[in-house]
Amino acid sequence: MHPVRRQRLFMVIFIVVIASIAVGLLSFALRENINLFYPPSDIVSGEAPKGVRIRAGGMVVDGSVVRADDSLLTHFQITDGEAQVNVQYTGILPDLFAEGEAAVVTGELNDEGMFMASEVLAKHDENYTPPEVAEAMQEAHNRAKTKDVDAESAKAQTSKY
């Protein structure tokens, strides 16, 4: 390679490396602000600020969704597997909002630790399945569960004797 070209090649590599370092440092310094939402464990531990608009994200806890009969008021809990946050929301929920699915809520934490949401977004996962396959998977899952229960109860019965 010609020395002049080699020098220019090093210049190009230099530009790319320096730019990467700069952007790397920048995103490291701003890492908290780049996150779209706080997980429930951060909110429960008090790391999330109170009285300002923040977002919280997590899975909607199974069986936690309670809808009011006479209004659009909804209560539910979101979890990240470690902690749970109670959310209160008045309004129309997105179609994909469901128990066991992820959701991102925007709002404020009040003093009782209740998250007063003004917006609820459903978060979709990266899995795509046709309805029949999803049904079959659900059935298989349920069957495995009942089998486990059967096995356990059988064990309990045998241990009785």
Partner 1 sequence: MSQLFSWKWFHRLGSPRWFYQTSGKWLPWLSMLATGLLLVGLCWGLAFAPQDAKQGNSFRIIYIHVPASFLALAGYYVMAIAGAIGLIWKMKLADMVMKSAAPIGAVLTFVALVTGAIWGKPTWGTYWVWDARITSMLVLLFLYLGVIALQYSYSSQDAASKASAVLSLVGMVNIPIIYKSVDWWYTLHQPATIKFTEAPSMHPDMFQPLLVMILGFYCFYAVALILNTRVEVLCRERRTRWVQELVASKCT
Q: How far apart are CA 122 and CA 42, in angstroms?
A: 20
Residue 25 or 149 having the CB closest to partner 1: 25
Site for partner 1 in 116-155 (CB under 8 A): 119-135
Name which of 139 and 148 has its Cβ closer to partner 1.
139
Q: In this structure, what DSSP letter does residue 111 have?
A: T
CA 116, distance to chain mean position in Å, is 18
Q: Which of 94, 110, 145, 150 binds partner 1 (CB under 8 A)?
A: 94
Site for partner 1 in 6-45 (CB under 8 A): 8-9, 11-12, 15-16, 19-20, 23, 27, 31, 34-39
Residue 56: which of 79, 24, 73 has the closest Cα? 79
CA–CA distance, 85 with 57 (Å, rounded to integer) = 10
Binding site for partner 1 (CB under 8 A): 1, 5, 8-9, 11-12, 15-16, 19-20, 23, 27, 31, 34-39, 57, 93-97, 101, 104, 119-135
